[in-house]
Amino acid sequence: MATAVEKALSRLERPLLPLISLIEMLYLTGPFVGIEDLLAELPADIDTNGCHYDNPAALLNAELDILREIEFLKNNTPLSYLIVDGIGGECPRVEAVELWIAQGVMARELEEINSLLCGGRGCDLCCIGPKSRSRHNFFDIPLEENELKGFAGQRRVEDMDGDIYAVPAPLLDGRPFYQSNAPFLLRWRRGWSMVLPRQSACPNLADNGFCAVYEQRPAVCRKPQIFPYVLEEDGRDEKGEVPRYVGRRKLLAVWDCPYVREYQAQIASYGELCGMEPVFKENKA
């Protein structure tokens, strides 16, 4: 039976996006009313862009919630977002929908691949505060209200004024809020944060290096170290009616993560198969 890493590498070798690009083209040029009409006519397997897909209809059915966006192009439904290019020009509708779908499909796929690569590895880099000489003073783990129960017994400070990244840093007990010996929970106007000061560890990090609440870990801890940067959020459109995005067509990978270093070639190849420029960057140095 394939290990988690083997499963992740096989998915990196065969991303969904080449298949989805083919399906978008077939849908837009064919007589199909809904996307399911097309899926019903797909063969048992498909080869495209050097990738082989068994049972493509099943693979695509799992992405229907995102893929359905393409139907808006045929029935002239207004899009619920504006996508511009790097110099501010509005992208044509077909390109905007293609980018929107790519961002959604890659985000989901990479979250699953990241979990396979990270889970069970025993790496705690995402769970500890900055090193003593880091340029960072603290790390922030944003938490939803319903995630606080996973941090029972931790010191809580409520109703902190200002912004967590303000310069100079907001004061707590007369000194910058992050100057503490231990992690603590802090509520800003925008919501809760678990603040990890320098050389501290998340209270859920067990002695064996694994997360004690792994299956219930906060949403932010599930965020991947390889993620799509197909679209960049850029406020609202001029009338303030819909969110605006800039099309970037990039794949970002955080170089601090050991599996990103180990599988750099496979990650770069995944990005290229998806038509995205792979960019490796350091985060926590």
Binding mask 214-233 for ligand SF4 (x = CB under 6 A): ---xx--x---x--------
Residue 118 touching ligand SF4 (CB under 6 A)? yes
Residue 70 touching ligand SF4 (CB under 6 A)? no
Q: Check if the beta carbon of residue 251 is closer than 8 Å to that of residue 267.
A: yes
Residue 263 to residues 18, 105, 236, 255, Cα–Cα distance (Å): 21, 21, 37, 11
CA distance 194 to 153: 13
Question: Is the CB of 66 or the CB of 127 nearer to ligand SF4?
Answer: 127
Question: Is the CB of 193 or the CB of 225 nearer to ligand SF4?
Answer: 225
Question: Is the CB of 123 or the CB of 268 nearer to ligand SF4?
Answer: 123
CA distance 199 to 28: 54
CA distance 232 to 249: 9
Pure H helices in 51-92: 56-61, 64-67, 71-74
Count CB-CB contacts under 10 A for residue 83: 25
Residue 213 touching ligand SF4 (CB under 6 A)? yes
Binding mask 173-212 for ligand SF4 (x = CB under 6 A): -----------------------------x-xx-----x-
Question: Is the CB of 70 or the CB of 141 nearer to ligand SF4?
Answer: 141
CA distance 233 to 269: 25
Among 84, 125, 157, 169, binds ligand SF4 (CB under 6 A): 125
Residues that bind ligand SF4 (CB under 6 A): 118, 121, 123, 125-127, 141, 202, 204-205, 211, 213, 217-218, 221, 225, 257-259
